[in-house]
Structure 1
Amino acid sequence: MAQVWRCSGLRWPDGGPVLVWSGGRRSALGPGGRVAFRAAGAGVRECVGARGHACAVRATVSGRSTGARCEECARLDRAHSVAADGVPDDPRPYHVYLAWFGPGMAKVGITAVERGPARLLEQGAVCFSWLGAGPLMAARRAEELLRAALRVPDRIPYGAKRAVRSALPESAAERAAEIAVLHERALALGEWPEALVPEPCRVVDHVRVFGLDGAPAAVGEVAELTPGGAVSGELVAAAGPDLHLATRRGVVVLDTRLLPGWELAAAEAGREGEIDFPIREFTAPQEGLF
């Protein structure tokens, strides 16, 4: 019987992508490395539960879902989330940041100071700058202020992020320009919370960290995992939860949020570069960086 594993997702603990497995095992990923697995087990994807607890009914979830939770577990997880204001009394200091994903696509957000830039790497931010630091509720007020006054969103769909990666400016200075302008406008707002200490604009660029400089264009993305399906490809880039894999069909993006809930096993030998999960092709050729 083939050995199987359950993936908990992709993390960026030390500035590099790492696949985390149940039991604490980790697989560091690097350019040129091979990513190969198949969906094994009983052929169903089970809810991963919430807050460290297994799903009470072991519910089946869709292979297309990036959340990997049933409705009840998703509700429980959200109820204890800082992002959903489920922990208003969190005593930790928080950073407010501006993140940029491509031309005309910037967002505001918050992250615990102790996490450093991990949240930005997990989101696939091409570049970012801190705005300020302070108590959670002050950081929340600043976030809401920017949404209302500057019309900067706090969420951007991953599909939109992937679409603009093909049009990234070549120079880091060009990529930083929009953040610099927004940073100046943000700190000039009169309603800036007093408890939030402003920070200077220092843009951090992730293009090389992600491996996007000179990376070939992607032709599509994995739409879902299916029972018995498999993928085998060479890693050419990684951004946020996305792995960009060179396969016989070209470079295909695999959103690792599709993996949790499945039992995964090693792909069969001799199938290098093959992929037989459903692929959603990009509607137009993507040129330049991806």
Structure 2
Amino acid sequence: MWRVTGLLWTGGAPHLEWSGTTVRVSPLQLGADLSFTFGADRRCIGIWRSGRRLPCSTSTVLAAVSRSPQCPDCQAMERSNSIAADTRLDDPRSFSVYLAHHGSVVKVGISATERGDARLLEQGALSSTFISSGSLLGARRIESLLMTTLGLPDRVSTTRKRAARVHPVPAADRGEALAEAVRRAAELPWPEGQGRCDSAVRDHTAAYGLPVDGLHPDVALRSPAPGSTVTGQIACTIGSDVYLRTSAGLVLLDTHLLAGWALSRAEPGAELTVPLEPVDAPPPPEVEQDALF
């Protein structure tokens, strides 16, 4: 039985990852039809370790509403060997420090250099730039420096990211804000272990299919139910969210809610039957960081 394990960005494009007898992926192409029916239950997807997915030892059944696709034991094991949780500081790979624009805020973060833009696409950054590369510990030092000195956050809430997609800040303005952040970072004493790199700004909205004038979903998937069906046309895929044109309007599909489910191809002519909830209009964008510098 094949179960979804998440949405991946590879080669600059989104794919659903599936786990069964092995691991496979299927593309999520803009304009393509997406139609599937949920299976009988949702189960823990296990952990990713040493380049492969290890199944959950108990195949724990999960709640349909949880955004986490792992049971508590697998979450603990994941964090015990994690770059994000600082429990794998001996990783010998090169790491890059990036700045990401999320509409009303610029954040700082790190990513393995070999991954390129994948980390930025996974988190739904509208624009981004890399500022340095080198050792993992050096990347952490620079990240901490920019957080404490420039006041840049290392996290942006999902709610805030989604609100920024309704009326996206123009690409030129995003580029100016990132360039100003790079300029201010360049004035700081640079810790050892990281070398400065070309800070060219990348705009990611074309990869997502995000319209210049933005988009606002009418409804969102609330809680998948066994045997219910999703059917529509992919209008935009950004971060871990898929926006579908359906008979109920534009539907926001958080793929975190798909992970752990066995999905089957819906019957021809199937109707949309998943539980949905209205999406309120977002509040005006928050203005922080001295109006993004």
User: Above 0.5 in TM-score?
Assistant: yes
- Equivalent residues of 1:218, 1:286 under 8 A apart: no
SS at 2:64 equivalent: coil
- Report the residue type matching 1:55 in the other structure: C
Aligned ranges 1:190-229 → 2 under 5 Å = 190=189, 192-214=190-212, 216-229=215-228
TM-score in terms of structure 1 length? 0.90
Counterpart for residue 62 of structure 1: 63
Identity between Structure 1 and Structure 2 (%): 39
- Report the residue type matching 1:124 in the other structure: G
Mark the runs of 5 or more structure 1 residues left unpaired by the alignment.
Answer: none
Counterpart for residue 142 of structure 1: 142
- Equivalent residues of 2:95, 2:113 under 8 A apart: yes
Q: Give 1:277 shift.
A: 2.3
Counterpart for residue 80 of structure 1: 81
Tell me, in whole angstroms, the C-alpha distance in 1 between the residues paired with 2:244 and 2:11: 22
C-alpha RMSD of the superposition: 1.8
- Report the residue type matching 1:212 in the other structure: L
Tell me, in whole angstroms, the C-alpha distance in 2 between the residues paired with 1:186 and 1:89: 26
- Report the residue type matching 1:126 in the other structure: L
Counterpart for residue 230 of structure 1: 229
Aligned ranges 1:1-290 → 2 under 5 Å = 5-22=2-19, 23-40=22-39, 43-51=40-48, 52-102=53-103, 104-170=104-170, 172-190=171-189, 192-214=190-212, 216-271=215-270, 274-284=271-281
- Report the residue type matching 2:77 in the other structure: L
TM-score in terms of structure 2 length? 0.89
- Equivalent residues of 2:165, 2:216 under 8 A apart: no
Q: Give 1:256 shift.
A: 1.3
- Equivalent residues of 1:109, 1:154 under 8 A apart: yes
Please list the CA deviations of residues 93-130 of structure 1 after superposition, one character each: whole Å capped at 9, or x if unmatched: 1000000111x222111011111111111111111000
- Equivalent residues of 1:219, 1:285 under 8 A apart: no
Tell me, in whole angstroms, the C-alpha distance in 1 between the residues paired with 2:111 and 2:246: 35
Please list the CA deviations of residues 233-256 of structure 1 after superposition, one character each: whole Å capped at 9, or x if unmatched: 100111111111001111111111
- Report the residue type matching 1:270 in the other structure: G
SS at 1:151 equivalent: coil
Tell me, in whole angstroms, the C-alpha distance in 1 between the residues paired with 2:25 and 2:122: 16
- Equivalent residues of 1:17, 1:29 under 8 A apart: yes
The structure-2 alpha-carbon separation of the partners of 1:141 and 1:181, relative to structure 1 and needing over 3 Å to count, comes to same
- Report the residue type matching 2:201 in the other structure: V
Tell me, in whole angstroms, the C-alpha distance in 2 between the residues paired with 1:109 and 1:18: 23
The structure-2 alpha-carbon separation of the partners of 1:10 and 1:94, relative to structure 1 and needing over 3 Å to count, comes to same
Please list the CA deviations of residues 64-83 of structure 1 after superposition, one character each: whole Å capped at 9, or x if unmatched: 22221111110110111111
SS at 1:85 equivalent: coil
Tell me, in whole angstroms, the C-alpha distance in 1 between the residues paired with 2:66 and 2:131: 33
Mark the runs of 5 or more structure 2 residues left unpaired by the alignment.
Answer: 285-293
Tell me, in whole angstroms, the C-alpha distance in 1 between the residues paired with 2:181 and 2:72: 37
Tell me, in whole angstroms, the C-alpha distance in 1 between the residues paired with 2:177 and 2:233: 33
Tell me, in whole angstroms, the C-alpha distance in 1 between the residues paired with 2:64 and 2:173: 38
Tell me, in whole angstroms, the C-alpha distance in 2 between the residues paired with 1:280 and 1:185: 43
Tell me the matched-pair count: 277
- Equivalent residues of 1:99, 1:129 under 8 A apart: yes
Richer in strand (by share): 2
- Report the residue type matching 1:16 in the other structure: A
- Equivalent residues of 2:121, 2:239 under 8 A apart: yes
Please list the CA deviations of residues 107-160 of structure 1 after superposition, one character each: whole Å capped at 9, or x if unmatched: 111011111111111111111000111100000111111111122111112222
Tell me, in whole angstroms, the C-alpha distance in 2 between the residues paired with 1:29 and 1:283: 26
